[in-house]
Amino acid sequence: MKTSICMLVVILAFQAQALERICAKKALALNSLAYYELPSSGMLPAGYVDKWDTCLVESTFVDSLDRAWFGWDVGGQLRWANSEHLRYLREIDESRISAKLRDVRDKIRRLKMLKQHPGWPRRIMRAVRNGQICLHMDSTQLKAAWGNPYYKSKAFMLGMGEYEEWVFQGKNGVPLTVAIGREGVIGWTKSNYSAK
């Protein structure tokens, strides 16, 4: 069990680093545009890029008119296009890429917590591994599954007594409230987070 968790953590960390490297260098064509042999538009185009095509940026250049150029490999030769109609994917899809990285980092965090607590019941370990919560999780297990809450408060309800409400940030910005009593998690708000 410990070996497989360690292996998963290493694989996920490698995926996160690779995703950051690739996305930092990929550019997307916002319109159809010409590319040239040199970073200068005074020549005949060497070819064209279609709208929404992506390219892996190998080099950048700023000409004497302060225009930025992106260079990428086309058939073993560096070709150049004015960056006016190209955008790094990171700029265009920052939220999707950062959400993917956040998910990978969160999974690594959860797996590390499982490694630190091998004695937890199987249903709790399964829920934490999947980023879910379940009834009777204690506060440490809840933090392992969903991370730290951004708000905590004490509450009282007749017939139930004192309990804590922890508020988490949901995946689409909707706040999620979890109620924790003396015996652990006793309930939560229904939302996009999965719970068992």
Q: Given pLDDT bands bounded at 50, 70 and 90, which one contains residue 13? A: low
With beta carbons less than 8 A apart as the criterion, state whether 149 and 169 touch.
no
Tens digit of each residue's pLDDT (9 = 90 or more) over 22-65: 445 777 677 777 778 877 767 788 888 777 777 777 778 887 77
| Domain coordinates in residue numbering, the chain | 2-92, 121-196
Spatial contact of 4 and 45, defined as CB atoms under 8 Å apart = no
Q: pTM of the prediction?
A: 0.55
CA–CA dist 169, 149 (Å, integer) = 7
Which residue did the predictor score with more confidence, 77 or 20?
A: 77
Give the burial class of 18: count Cβ atoms within 10 A of its Cβ; 0-12 exposed, 13-18 middle, 19 or more buried.
exposed
Question: Looking at residue 120, what is its pLDDT?
Answer: 95
Query: Which one is predicted more confidently, 174 or 181?
Result: 181
Q: What percent of the chain has pLDDT above 90?
A: 30
Report the run of H or E that residue 163 belongs to, with start and end.
Answer: strand 161-169
For domain 2-92, give the fold: SH3 type barrels. (2.30.30)
Ramachandran assignment for 131, one of left (phi > 0), alpha (psi -120 to 50 degrees), beta (any other): left
Instruction: Say if 2-92 and 121-196 have the same CATH topology.
Output: no
Q: Quick one: pLDDT at residue 95?
A: 58
113-170 residue pLDDT tens: 999 999 999 999 999 999 999 999 999 999 999 999 989 999 888 887 899 999 998 7
Give me the pLDDT at residue 23, please: 46
- What is the architecture, at CATH level 2, of domain 121-196? 2-Layer Sandwich (3.30)
Mean local confidence (pLDDT), 14-24: 53
Q: What confidence tens digit (pLDDT) does each residue in 82-127 have? A: 777 776 665 555 556 667 777 888 888 999 999 999 999 999 999 9
